[in-house]
Amino acid sequence: MTSTADKRAARTVKKPEIQQSEPTFVKVVIIGSGFSGLGMAAQLRRHGYNDFVVLEKADSLGGTWRENTYPGCACDVPSLMYSYSFETRGDWSKVWSSQPEIEGYLQDVADKRGVTQKIHFGQKVVSGYWSESESRWHLNTDSGREYIARYVVSGVGALHIPNYPTIPGVADFTGQSFHSAVWDHNVDLRGKRVAVIGTGASAIQFVPHVQKDAGTLTLFQRTPAWVLPRKNFAVPSPFRTLLNKIGLARILARWAVYWGAESLAFGLNGHSNLMRPIEKLAQWNIARSVDDPELREKLTPTYRIGCKRILGSNDYYPALNAQNTTVVDESIAKLTSDAVVTAEGTSYPVDVIIYATGFHVTDGFDQLALKGACGKDLPTHWHETGINTHLGITTAGFPNLFFLLGPNTGLGHNSVVFMIEQQIKYIMKAIEALDGVGAQRIEVRPSVQQEFNSAIQRRLSKGVWTNGGCTSWYLDSQGVNRTVWPGFTWQYWRATKDFRRSEYEIA
Ligand SMILES: Cc1cc2nc3c(=O)[nH]c(=O)nc-3n(C[C@H](O)[C@H](O)[C@H](O)COP(=O)(O)OP(=O)(O)OC[C@H]3O[C@@H](n4cnc5c(N)ncnc54)[C@H](O)[C@@H]3O)c2cc1C
């Protein structure tokens, strides 16, 4: 059987042989080849634009779905919806597809849409500046290449730079350790004493697999997650055939998933009492799987469901109920050469530590050191002024720069691919509008941006992420939510469906 790594190696496109000293001139540079960058590239082609490149720091495409290869890695929005609307598929093997299938899907879309050959792999954008005299961006990559472009579209993603906790003694630990997002498949967990630190979306997917292999599993939990019952199952063959053959069936099924997910937005945004029945269901999920009342209590969150990402699994709680698992909710004080030691002084000897401690959510942008017309680079500018954008797509001071899955366009309840697609359509309209009048420069008006930000922050202040009694990666260090879109996704569709020229300075 061919492994994911073999398939990836076979499809990996070599770095293009480009003359080192010559800059590459293109109309559009897209940064990143995940759902965002590939979707943008596909739509540029569809609209007849060929003068673009995709710069990707890694050696293969896929973003999130290239990086995360841990056992059990899968999407948590059904694949019928967690896929492009312009490239729907009826033959997903399961309702929630696994990582290799999603990575394969992205590869297929890129091949089919003629995007693969437009990707320059191994080109990490490390710096850049806006040239006012040329009305162009100059971008530099870590391999010494320069790209000069009229427009830059960032698809750098938010969830791919692993966040390692700062625990005293990390360097003293002599066993094996790795982060879930860079899973070390050479480490044999069979019979080992394994510690998992963290209980977020990745952990609940891989913990059941680790528990089966490990001699003992010690799970270090800071805050429990709400986990709803969820049985992933193979899509019955007749249904797959129907979805495959009849486009309308596929569209209807996709819409059913979409509206089912949308119904949650009401409870998340200001009507959190509506989430109580869902909490009851999650409590039942604990009760039916966990025998020990003390463990049940440890696993029951005290915050409102939805405040952190709502998770789903039928295997997670049984894995924690197993004989070889210990759940520790004391905070970790330090690591020694062979143990995790808690603040209460208990030492847990371990051979392997797996960090399931999430991602540097804003670091994708922090590393995007592009100097705008304002004279500052983006991270410095946003650190000084706060992260402000218009629609999560454009930001004042940075002409001709567009974001995909930018600030406040993430979701807690539906597929972000929907959001990405609205952004792509909006950017296409902006570029076409400029081309239509022979303009070369576009910058959002600061007043428009301010109005947008005030409005969404007002709405977010009523949302469960602010009022639900938890801290989460949705909030920045000041407690401001710079991550989530506060509302229904169709409201975002409505907000972005027209490109309003009056909101921009166009020259
Ligand atoms: C395990 C996991 C499961 C998820 N499941 C879901 C789900 O079910 N539903 C959902 O809606 N969302 C889910 N998400 C969120 C997921 O990140 C998004 O759905 C989506 O994949 C983001 O795509 P993207 O293209 O914007 O970013 P990414 O997939 O992160 O891709 C960004 C790309 O940009 C490249 N890049 C970054 N910086 C540079 C640079 N400076 N120069 C060149 N290249 C650069 C990266 O290498 C990467 O390839 C999940 C996330 C994880 C981690």
State whether the beta carbon of 449 lies less than 6 angstroms from ligand 1. no
Q: Which domain holds residue 26?
A: 4-161+361-444+488-506
For residue 234, pLDDT beyond 60: yes
CA proximity to 403, closest of 382, 417, 383, 389? 389
Q: What's the full length of the chain, in residues?
A: 507
Q: How far is CA 378 from CA 129, 362, 371, 451, in A?
A: 10, 12, 6, 20
- pLDDT tier for residue 372 given thresholds of 50, 70 and 90: very high
Same domain assignment for residues 369 and 354: no
CATH at 28: 3.50.50.60
Q: Hunting for tokens 């005299």 — which residue is that?
A: 133
Same domain assignment for residues 134 and 192: no
SS3 311: strand
State whether the beta carbon of 130 lies less than 6 angstroms from ligand 1. no
State whether the beta carbon of 387 lies less than 6 angstroms from ligand 1. no
Of the residues 306, 329, 358, the one at which a domain ends: 358
**479/473 Cα distance (integer angstroms):** 10
Same domain assignment for residues 202 and 334: yes
Same domain assignment for residues 125 and 39: yes
Chain segment 460-479, per-residue pLDDT in tens: 988 888 888 888 778 877 77
Ligand 1 pocket, mutate which of 159, 310, 311, 366 (most atoms under 8 A from CB): 159
Q: What is the mean pLDDT of residues 254-266?
A: 94
Domains contained in the chain, number: 2
Phi-psi region of 409 (alpha: psi -120 to 50; beta: other; left: phi over 0): alpha
CA proximity to 161, closest of 191, 182, 136? 182
SS3 234: strand
Residue nearest ligand 1's atom 42 by CA: 124
**380/378 Cα distance (integer angstroms):** 6
SS3 243: helix
* Residue 119, domain member (yes or no): yes
Same domain assignment for residues 152 and 43: yes
* Residue 481, domain member (yes or no): no
Distance of CA 196 to the CA centre of its chain: 21
Q: In the chain, pLDDT over 70 holds for what percent of residues?
A: 95
Chain segment 45-99, per-residue pLDDT in tens: 999 999 999 999 999 999 999 999 999 999 999 999 999 999 999 999 999 999 9
* Residue 419, domain member (yes or no): yes
DSSP string, 261-294: HHHHHHHHTT-GGGGHHHHHHHHHHHHHH---HH
Ligand 1 pocket, mutate which of 38, 54, 64 (most atoms under 8 A from CB): 64
State whether the beta carbon of 232 lies less than 6 angstroms from ligand 1. no
* Residue 329, domain member (yes or no): yes
Q: Are 56 and 119 in contact (CB under 8 A)?
A: yes
For residue 202, pLDDT beyond 50: yes
Give the per-residue pLDDT at 392.
97
Burial class (CB within 10 angstroms; exposed 0-12, middle 13-18, buried 19+) of 10: exposed
Same domain assignment for residues 349 and 369: no
DSSP string, 333-365: EEE-SSEEEETT--EEE-SEEEE---B-TTHHH
For residue 429, pLDDT beyond 90: yes
**352/165 Cα distance (integer angstroms):** 16
Same domain assignment for residues 129 and 176: no
Same domain assignment for residues 137 and 173: no
Chain segment 330-364, per-residue pLDDT in tens: 999 999 999 999 999 999 999 999 999 998 765 45
* Residue 59, domain member (yes or no): yes
SS3 260: helix
State whether the beta carbon of 159 lies less than 6 angstroms from ligand 1. yes
Question: In the numeric block, which tokens belong to residue 99?
Answer: 């990582």
φ, ψ of residue 208 to 5 degrees: the values are: -60, -35
- pLDDT tier for residue 8 given thresholds of 50, 70 and 90: low
| Listed range (4-18, 166-180, 203-217) with the worst mean pLDDT | 4-18
Nearest-5° Cα angle at 293, 287 to 294: 130
Q: What is the mean pLDDT of residues 5-24?
A: 61
- pLDDT tier for residue 231 given thresholds of 50, 70 and 90: very high
State whether the beta carbon of 427 lies less than 6 angstroms from ligand 1. no
Give the per-residue pLDDT at 283.
97
Question: In the numeric block, which tokens belong to residue 152?
Answer: 């830059």
State whether the beta carbon of 492 lies less than 6 angstroms from ligand 1. no
Mark 386-413 as b/e (b = at least 16 C-beta within 10 Å).
ebbbbbbbbbbbbbbbbbbbbbbbbbbb
Q: Are 414 and 258 in contact (CB under 8 A)?
A: yes
Nearest-5° Cα angle at 162, 158 to 167: 135
- pLDDT tier for residue 1 given thresholds of 50, 70 and 90: very low
Of the residues 358, 391, 414, the one at which a domain ends: 358
Taking each helix axis from N to C terminus, what angle separates 99-112 and 4-11, rounded to the nearest 10 degrees? 20
Same domain assignment for residues 324 and 374: no
Q: How many helices (H) and strands (E) does the chain have?
A: 16, 20
For residue 18, pLDDT beyond 70: no
* Residue 123, domain member (yes or no): yes
Question: In the numeric block, which tokens belong to residue 506?
Answer: 């166009």
Same domain assignment for residues 127 and 115: yes
Q: Name the residue with higher pLDDT: 267 or 109.
A: 109
Ligand 1 atom with the smallest distance to the CA of 82 is 9
* Residue 262, domain member (yes or no): no
Same domain assignment for residues 64 and 110: yes
Ligand 1 atom with the smallest distance to the CA of 158 is 30
CA proximity to 143, closest of 295, 16, 273, 267? 16
Question: In the numeric block, which tokens belong to residue 405?
Answer: 């899955």
CB atoms within 10 A of CB 449: 19
* Residue 195, domain member (yes or no): yes
Same domain assignment for residues 186 and 139: no
**266/247 Cα distance (integer angstroms):** 30
Of the residues 334, 358, 382, the one at which a domain ends: 358
